[in-house]
Amino acid sequence: MMPLARLVLESKAPALILTINRLRLRTTIGVYDWEKSRPRDVIVTVRMRFDGARAIASDNIADTIDYDSLASKLQHDVEPLHYYLIEKLTARILELVMEDEKVTWAEVIVEKSGVPALADSVSVKAERSRG
């Protein structure tokens, strides 16, 4: 019987999609004065496609996307800044996600609550793939 690691690498394991669900980042976002002065939580969902063959074979974090490290990176980069538009924030998060060469495709959804008054939230989705 062939070892799992060799079998996975030779059979080209399917691409995996890793999802960070509803990550809360605290930042200031908005165009109105009251939005600029009060930090608020934005909810971020990130989906990333990558070749999972090496991670499956090695069972080693170096061969996958380190989601804890990515979440910390997003927090460190996003939280201290002010964004006027949710579109800009979403594009910035997508840019940070795509810095990992293992990511072949990513989708980012950023959700902002409190506007407009009759809705639970508003969100923007952006996606990008390599190539």
| pLDDT tens per residue across span 9-58 | 555 677 899 999 999 999 999 998 988 889 999 999 999 999 999 999 99
Active site residue 12: no
Q: Which residues of 15-30 are buried (b: 16+ CB within 10 A; e: fewer)?
A: eeebebeebebebbbb
Identify the active-site residue in 36, 88, 112, 125: 112
pLDDT in tens, 4-23: 555 455 556 778 999 999 99
The pTM (predicted TM-score) of the whole model is 0.88
Residue 69, classed as helix, strand or coil, is: helix
pLDDT in tens, 106-116: 999 999 987 77
**List of domains in the chain:** 15-49+63-129 (3.30.1130.10)
For residue 112, the tally of other CB atoms under 10 A from its CB is: 22
